[in-house]
Amino acid sequence: MPIQTGDRIPATTFVKVTEDGPEQISSDAFFAGRRVALFSVPGAFTPTCSARHLPGFVEKADALKAKDVDEVACTAANDAFVMEAWGKASGVEGKVTMLADGNGAFPKALGLEMDGSAYGMGTRGQRFSMLVNDGVIEQLYVEAPGQFEVSSADYLLARL
């Protein structure tokens, strides 16, 4: 059964690139004691993700933070170097934290994985957004396959 509003985020590990190179961070540590707007995309540099999803959160990051969101983060089943390159290409610096999940452990733990094998992508995360408060899901919006409506920055912002 997929994760739901009110559930605690399961323990997994993300990787992000820092000045010292790739750094692992547990989901417990990342979400502890703060409110995070997190969104998941099927893959870096893919059409909807690059043209609409990530740019929307970059554009709305300050507005989200003005609504008591401490951090805005993006995750995808890509390695840390791809996520870093996508972030640089998309101008995320200071706006959105890029969290790599190369093995897709996070969406699998949430019950929100999808099979992208028909497109040569293997197992990925579904497109979704969530508001996490101290490790507990406060809001969760999961897209229907092939859609981009309820996981957008505008949709999340309108519900804060």
Q: Taking a C-beta distance cutoff of 8 angstroms, is the pair 141, 122 a contact?
A: no
Residue identified by tokens 């994985």 is 113
Active site residue 49: yes
Active-site pick, 15, 49, 82, 156? 49
Residues 8-12: contacts with CB under 8 Å, at least 24 apart: 8/135, 8/136, 8/137, 9/110, 9/132, 9/135, 9/136, 9/137, 10/109, 10/110, 11/109, 12/101, 12/105, 12/106, 12/109
Whole-angstrom Cα distance, residue 92 to residue 14? 18
**Catalytic residue numbers, as ranges:** 49
